[in-house]
Amino acid sequence: METKTTDEEEVKEAVKLEASEIEYVSYGGEHHLPLIMALVDSELSEPYSIFTYRYFVYLWPQLSFLAFHGGKCVGTVVCKMGEHRNTFRGYIAMLVVIKPYRGRGIATELVTRSIQVMMESGCEEVTLEAEVTNKGALALYGRLGFVRAKRLFRYYLNGVDAFRLKLLFPSPLLHPSLAMVADKDDGNWHNDHIPIEECSEVH
Amino acid sequence: MEAKPPPAAADEASTAVPDGRSSTIPSGENTVWVDVSLLLDAACRDLEDGELIHGDNFNLFAAMSALEIMDPKMDSGMVCKYYSVDEAIENGAAPVPISSDKTVDVRCTIDIMDHLLACEATWHKGHSVSQTVFSCIYLLRTDRTSSHVLLHSYCRIIRATCKAVISVVSDARTHEEEDLFTMSYGLPLSGDGDDKCLSVLNAVEETICRQLRACKAPSSRRKVLEDIEPLQTNLALEEGYCKALLCRLRFRKHFYHVLTCLRRPQGRGLELARKHIASCISELECILSSSEFLRTSASGACEDGLEDKTTASGCQPVGFDANLNSRLSAPTPPRAIQILSWNEAVKYFMRLLHDLDVLCSYSLDSSLESVLHFVVQFQKSQPDLVARAHLQLLLVQDGKLHGRDPVFAVITRAAALPEATRNHDIQKNEFIVQLGQLVINLLKILCTNSAWQRRKLGKIIQDWRVIYLQLEMAFKECGENSNVSNEENSIVKIFQHILVWVEEQTYWIASRFLILGFELELYSPNEYCMVYWYLYVALVKLAEKTHLKMAVTNGAGKRRGKKKRDTPKDVAKDYRIPPAVLFLQCQICLAEGLTMMLAALRNEHGILETRSPFNTEYERFIQHFELLQKASIPDHVSYPSFKESTTYARFSNILMYNYFKDAQRIVKEVKSSFSNEPDKLAELRRLEQVAEHNSIALNVISRVGTLDPSLKVSFEFNHHPYFATAVVKRS
Ligand SMILES: CC(C)(COP(=O)(O)OP(=O)(O)OC[C@H]1O[C@@H](n2cnc3c(N)ncnc32)[C@H](O)[C@@H]1OP(=O)(O)O)[C@@H](O)C(=O)NCCC(=O)NCCS
């Protein structure tokens, strides 16, 4: 995901709260859509059309989560999953927590829930892209077991490279020589965050 | 998403109605036009919030390509000032002359030149040529400028230059993910008589030279020169403007020469290219120093010079409109792009010229080993696309190395076979032919950007493995059939050499693949241990094969090389070991030392240990090395072997087998063998520094480590790009 450049320091006007005050809910319908859109729109630089949001939340409502604090939506994650070159893989499309609520594990909890569902649904791996400069996101995913599988040259329109991150789930059947990923060339759609290979699947 | 398909309505409902569709399309044999408005209305009333009518091919790509019209973030707008070049011209967006005031006209011409330079650099850096260089209206209609010789000659050389650069990049086909670069549909790239652009430019240069001489001459001599009309009307500015123009024109001329010289076959133009590069650099310097004059003479005409201005004067140039071509630009919706500043553009060209100069210093060595060394060295500074494309065309022309050495000759030399072998009939063997293609392919891949390069290297490792197995089979067959006739014997010998070399080359690729991961920052510190371990195993194999190859050549040690690897200590004592192998030994010591140190830190201090909630270290190992594992590089090496060699690592042991001390010793021994190779000497010095620092760190950790639980150890790349140095801190 391409992110807006923000000064991390200005975030310090943090909110006092207990972890238990945050409520996590799975995507529950059209009334959640404006909340997700407002959040993503405010934090990620690239605009998404409403079709894009609906594409995700209508097809995989079980993979999208929202975090609320006292009725206010403070974070969200949007994902998909599907067959990809003979692998059933999950894909994290958007992840956002608003600034005053960062650094309290909310994003970690949100993605963990999505990944959990992906794992239970039979995904073999989870992928996403992150800007090489997005230290926060890279640290967060690193702690969850994601590996930087490759670097995508000038992936974003702003000329910044991206990492393709991958989380491989353990599999009792996995034998190194049979392992997945028959990688073809990466399609590169300079124009947007979500890579063409994620886009070109037919459902 | 629910599809509600009255099929005829599906297209109408999507945002993209193909244009040109109209009722003039006749009905077919079994079809007839029907008004579906009512049906549509009914369907709309049926739709719930969030539902969508779509065709079968509506996928994420389609969803993301959709624009929400009038959303300021999404809709960059097709509304622009002008809808066509003609309309822009009619409205005076690109007047010829630019001004009836000669001084203003010259000033504006210089601004156009500068902005074009900025556009050109922006293009080279990854934007489309149509939205950058060809945002210049004058360039889109060069015929209009023929009365304005200055502008005209400049536009023509720019156009010819663009064409030359596009041709280099598309011929090299290194354009990787950078396809945008060569996309130039619909642009007037070829003009009549562009081959004459240099003579036109020379004529203009000549005139300005005379004007410059005239204005500098003492007034007594002016009379003689009277027939020379000055460049413009303000005499106080005449000299400054003449000079500013001259360096700009000369830069273009020399740059064009550089491009053509570099394309001469078999590197024959390199020496001359170098001279033109030097001239380019000195003209660029003049261009830079002209900016003060241009800024002061333009003051009043422009806002205060900001850093992001695209011209030396700081003025906005006349005659550009980036929106005119936005529909031609790319397979993506048009976006506004940021043109590099004039300062950045000059910097870009300085760098490009420097890279090209390094290229020209290359001596077209026919030994594959030195070619590979040169390419790796060249890539260290991460040159941009244009320089890399030239590199590739220099290395590979007509399927030959440097357009000169047949691949088989290159292979026999690399495999240390006698000179005469290069004409042997074995080169017609299908696997040998394939091997030749792999070599050419490898050279091309090594010229691409490192992100792309690493991915490609990961894939071709498999090909190298397969060709090895095929050659081995072919070798066995001819071994069985041979009746020890001399001829057959020599075939056996050739195969034998080539096999060893193919393995060596495969391990070279594998280690390059692993090393590039550091440059690309693909490894996080808690993975360093496994990465250094893998690098260690790959380097050991590489050293073994290199040694074997050299031993086979000297006829002495066919058997010796095949025996199990000597420990670094024994090896280093053996004076017969070639320096190239010792060089690798030194890296092996560092890789092994780092592996063990990292493992001990984890085993004894719990440092750099990570527990992920969803997977284990095994999965991360697989993810990083699966391409190597699939190709059995090396054989019998897998996660369990990694665990086996690291689980029991302890500081007490590492101190006993001090790998870093070994590395230091080898460096001392081998230095003198490389006294003529400054690159390698510098590399040895870096390795030595890493060894030295890690050796000290090791001592510190084992002395205070157990007593002080607050010990912090981190790893930095301050002495070497991929061998880390441990930094110990007590908190
Ligand atoms: C990335 C983002 C979602 C993280 O949200 P968050 O709720 O603060 O994340 P968490 O609190 O769960 O962080 C978990 C861990 O990630 C790491 N991390 C998160 N933000 C970090 C930062 N700015 N710098 C360094 N590490 C960071 C830390 O290891 C942190 O653990 P710790 O707090 O115990 O040290 C949030 O910063 C955001 O919305 N950024 C803008 C949008 C974006 O970049 N999205 C991701 C695109 S791929």
Tokens of B459: 């894939």
Residue A191 placed within a domain: no
Asked whether the beta carbons of B143 and B184 are under 8 A apart, the reply is no
For residues B647 and B603, is the Cβ–Cβ distance under 8 A? Answer: yes
Q: What is the CATH number of the domain that holds A53?
A: 3.40.630.30
Give the 3-state secondary structure of B146-201: HHCHHHHHHHHHHHHHHHHHHHHHHHHCCCCCCHHHHCCCCCCCCCCCHHHHHHHH
Rounded to a whole number of angstroms, the distance from the CA of B418 to the nearest CA of chain A is: 39
CA-CA distances (angstroms) from residue A115 to A52, B520, B525, B575? 21, 27, 24, 57
Phi, psi of A161 (to 5 degrees): -75, 160
Kindly list the distances between the CA atom of residue B536 and the CA atoms of B43, B56, B511, B539, B653, in Å, as whole numbers in the listed order: 67, 52, 9, 5, 18
Q: How far is B68 from B14, CA to CA, in rounded Å?
A: 12
CA distance B327 to B330: 8
Q: Strand ranges (DSSP E) for A98-173? A: 125-131, 147-152, 162-168
Residue B529 sits at φ, ψ, to 5 deg, of: -60, -50
Q: For ligand 1, what atom is nearest to the CA of residue A129?
A: 48
Residues of chain B with confidence (pLDDT) below 50: 1-21, 556-566, 570-574
Asked whether B430 and B385 are in contact (CB, 8 A), the reply is no
- Residue B86's CB: how many other CB atoms inside 10 A? 11
Q: Which of A49, A58, A159 sits opposite B68 (nearest CB)?
A: A49
Q: Is residue A69 part of a domain?
A: yes
* Both tokens assigned to B189: 């790239």
Does the C-beta of A97 come closer than 6 Å to ligand 1?
A: yes
Rounded CA-CA distance B613/A140 in Å is 12
B265 sits in which H/E element: none
Amino acid B239: pLDDT: 94
B662 vs B681: CA distance, rounded Å: 18
**What 8-state DSSP symbol labels residue B267?**
G
What would the pLDDT profile of B57-97 be if each residue is shown by its tens digit?
Answer: 778 888 887 777 777 666 666 666 787 889 999 999 999 99
What are B618-647's pLDDT values in tens digits?
999 999 999 999 999 998 899 999 999 999
What angle, rounded to 10 degrees, do the helices at B450-481 and B486-519 form? 160
Residue from B338, B623, B639, B641 whose CB has the most chain A CBs within 10 Å, to mutate: B623
Contact A8 CB / ligand 1 (< 6 Å): yes
Residue B453: both structure tokens together:
């390069």
| 114-153 in chain A: CB under 8 A from chain B | 115, 119, 132, 142-145, 147-153
pLDDT along chain A (203 residues), means of 10: 52 63 94 95 84 92 96 96 93 96 96 97 96 95 96 82 96 51 36 50 38
Region of residue B417 (phi > 0: left; psi between -120 and 50: alpha; otherwise: beta):
beta
| Closest by Cα among B357, B415, B363 to B390 | B357
pTM given for the model: 0.86
The reply to whether A82 falls in a domain is yes
End-to-end CA distance of chain B: 56
Burial code of B466-485, b = ≥16 C-beta within 10 A, e = fewer? ebbeebeebbeebeeeeeee
* Spatial distance between the Cα atoms of B717 and B230, rounded to a whole number of angstroms: 59
Structure tokens at A177: 């020589």
Cα B596 to the chain's mean position, in Å?
Answer: 35
Give the model's pLDDT for residue B15. 36
User: Is there a contact between B261 and B273 (Cβ–Cβ < 8 Å)?
Assistant: yes
Rg (CA), chain B: 33
Task: Report which secondary-structure segment, H or E, holds A67.
Answer: strand A65-69
Q: Assess if residue A78 is contained within a domain.
A: yes
Asked if B217 and B242 touch (Cβ cutoff 8 Å), the reply is no
Whether residue A161 is contained in a domain is answered as no
Q: Is A1 in the pocket of ligand 1 (CB under 6 A)?
A: yes
Q: Which of A41, A102, A163 maximizes ligand 1 atoms within 8 Å of its Cβ, making it the mutation to test the pocket?
A: A102
The residue among B47, B51, B59, B64 with the most chain A CBs within 10 A of its CB, best to mutate, is B64
Mutate to test the interface with A, among B619, B629, B638, B639 (most CBs of A within 10 A): B619
CA distance B708 to B291: 60
Q: What are phi and psi of B14, to 5 degrees?
A: -75, 160
Q: In A, which residues are within 8 Å of B60 by CB distance?
A: 52, 55, 80, 194, 198-201
CA A153/CA B178 separation, integer angstroms = 9
Give the C-alpha separation, B320 to B311, whole Å.
13
d(CA B115, CA B122): 10
Q: Give the pLDDT score at B224.
A: 57
Look up tokens 């409109």; give the residue. B321
Q: Choose among A139, A147, A158, A154: nearest CA to A44.
A: A158
Residue among B530, B6, B381 at smallest CA distance from A147: B530
Q: Look at residue B97 in the predicted model and tell me its pLDDT.
A: 94
β-pairing, A72-84 with A87-97?
Answer: antiparallel
Asked if the structure places residue A179 within a domain, the reply is no
Task: Give, in degrees to the nearest 5, the angle at Cα B435 between B429 and B441.
Answer: 145
B336 backbone dihedrals φ, ψ, rounded to 5° = -75, 140
Judge if the upstream peptide bond of residue B97 is cis by omega within 30 degrees of 0.
Answer: yes
The Cα–Cα gap between B426 and B412 comes to: 11
Residue from the list B64, B125, B333 with its beta carbon closest to the beta carbon of A52: B64
| Domain of A95, in residue numbers | 19-127
Distance separating alpha carbons of residues A12 and A8, to the nearest angstrom: 8
Domain assignment of residue A181, yes or no: no
The structure tokens listed for B46 are: 């049926």
Tokens for B410, please give them: 């290159």
Structural domains of chain A, count: 1
DSSP codes, B594-658: HHHHHHHIIIII-TT----SS--HHHHHHHHHHHHHHTTSSTT--HHHHHHHHTT--HHHHHHS-
| Strands across the sheet containing A147-152 | A22-26, A65-69, A72-84, A87-97, A125-131, A162-168, A147-152
